[in-house]
Amino acid sequence: MRRRLIVAFLSLAVAIIALYGVPRVLMVADLVHASEQQYAKRMASMVGTVIDQGGGSGTVNEKLLGGLIIYGERVVYTASDGTTVVAGSDVDADDITGTSIVRSGGTVDFTRSGEIVNERISKAVTPVIAIGAGLLLIAIIAAIQLARSLSRPFLRLLDTVREIGRGNLRPPKQHLGVPEARAIDTALRESAQTLEDRLRREHEFASNASHQLRTPITALRLELEDLSLWPETPPVVRDQLDHAVREIDRLADAISQLLEMARGDAPGATTFEPLAESLHESAARWQGQAHSLGRTIHVAPMTGDLGDAPAAASQIIDVLLHNALTHGRGDITIDAERRAEYVTVRVGDEGTRPRGNAIFQRRPHRRSATAGEGIGLALSVELAESLGGHLLLDGASTTTFSLMLPARG
C-alpha cells in the first residue's frame, strides 16, 4: 500500500510539474529568441546610423565596424556600388541576422552568433528547471511522509488481526487517525467479540454435555457391573454384560476425547495401545452388523510388529467401518503396514470410489438425529490431524481410506 501511494502521488506531481514546466520552458526560450532577433535589428539600424553620421561609405572600414560589435557578432556593410566591408566572426547556419538600409546608400547586415543565443536561452530556462527539480524533490519527501501517515493505521490494523489470529480476541486498542481504518478496527473487534462469545458457548456446551452424559453412563456401568456379580446371572449373560461394560468405557472415552477436541487439545495423543490388537477388536465389534447385512470384515495378516498407536485411533477406525457398512458394498478389508515412525491403516470395501474429497467436508443439512451422517468423516479428519496423522482417500478404483498415524515401540 505504501509503495502504491508513493507512486500515485509522485505520478500526479510529475504530471503537474510537466504540465507547468514544459510550456514555461518553451515560452521562455521563445521570448529570448525573439529578444535576440530584435537586438539584431536594432544593432543593424545603429550601425547604419553611425555610417550616415560618419560621412557615408567613404569612411567605412573594417576598423570602424569592428569597434561597434563584440565577440560572437558580425557586421557586413554593402555599399551602393557593391563594395563590401566585413567585420567580426564567421557566420553559422543557426545565427540570427538583422538587416538595415543606410540612408546614404547601401545596406547593413548584423549577425548574432547562435551559440550566444543558445547560452542566453539556457540561462533563462535554468531557473525554471531548478524550480521544477526542487518541486519534484519536495513532492518525493511529501509522498513518503504522506504514504507513511496513511499506511500507519492499516499496519496497526495488521497487528490487531495478528493478535486475533494468535487467539487474543481482545487486542489492545490503538489510536487510528484515518476514519476508514477506525471503521475496520471496530468491525474487527465486533467480529472478535462475536467469535469469543461463540467459542465460549461451544466450550460451555461441550462441558455441560460431557457432564450430563457421564452421570447416566456411570450409573449404567455400575448397574451392569452389579448385575454381572449376581449369583443368578448365567455365565453367558455375564460375558455379554462384561462386553457391554467395556463398550460403555469406550463411549466414556469417546466423550472425553470430544471434550478435549472442543478445548483445542489433542485427545488421546499421549495414550498408546497395540495397534494390531485394536484393529482386531474393532473388526470384532462390527462383525455382527456386517453378518446381518450379508457381508464380512477381513483383517489382513500383519507383516512385522505394527507397534503402538494413539488410543483415540480406534474411534477413527470405527467411523471408517460404519461408513463402509452404511455406504459401501461387498466385503470390508482392514490391513496395516509400518514404515519408520509411522503406520498406515487401510480400510476398504468393494464400492466405487467417491469423486473428490467432498466426503470429508461437514454436511449438516444431511445429518440426521440418529445416524449423524455428514459429520463422521470430517470429525475423523480433525481427530487424525490432532493426533499428528492424516486421513486420506486412496486413488484406487474402490473405496479405500488410508489412516496415517505416529507409532512407537
Report angle CA 364, 368, 369 to the nearest 5 degrees: 115
Q: What is the pTM of this model?
A: 0.48
Class of CATH domain 2-134:
alpha beta
Domain ranges (residues) in the chain:
2-134, 179-261, 269-406
Distance set, CA 252 to CA 11, 205, 215, 261, 315 (Å) = 69, 17, 10, 14, 12
| Distance, CA of 323 to CA of 377 (rounded, Å) | 8
How far is residue 280's CA from residue 282's CA, in Å, rounded to a whole number? 5
Q: Which tens digits make up the pLDDT trace of 217-226?
A: 777 778 888 8
Is 53:64 a contact under the CB 8 Å cutoff?
no
CATH fold of the domain at 269-406: Heat Shock Protein 90 (3.30.565)
pLDDT tens by residue, 321-334: 998 998 889 999 99
Query: CB neighbours of 289 closer than 8 A, spacing ≥ 6?
Result: 325
pLDDT of the chain, 409 residues: tens digit per residue: 678 878 888 888 888 888 888 888 889 889 988 998 898 899 888 888 888 877 665 677 888 888 888 888 888 888 887 888 888 877 777 788 888 888 878 888 989 888 888 888 888 888 888 888 888 899 888 888 888 887 788 778 888 888 888 878 788 887 777 788 888 888 888 888 888 888 778 777 766 766 677 777 777 778 888 888 888 788 888 888 887 887 787 777 777 766 666 555 555 556 788 888 889 888 988 888 899 899 999 999 877 778 888 878 888 898 899 989 988 899 999 999 888 888 899 999 998 888 777 787 766 544 444 344 457 788 888 888 888 888 988 887 889 999 998 887 6
Strands 297-299 and 84-88: unpaired
- Cβ burial of 185 (10 Å; 0-12, 13-18, 19+) is buried
In contact, 313 and 277? CB cutoff 8 Å: no
What one-character-per-residue DSSP string does 308-339 give?
A: EEETTHHHHHHHHHHHHHHH--S-EEEEEEEE
In one letter, which amino acid is 243? H
Q: How far apart are CA 143 and CA 10, in angstroms?
A: 7
Give the C-alpha separation, 83 to 240, whole Å.
144
Instruction: Provide the H-helix boundaries in 54-101.
Output: 62-66
Q: How far is CA 338 from CA 273, 279, 335, 341, in A?
A: 15, 14, 11, 8
Q: Which residue has the cell 504530471?
A: 15
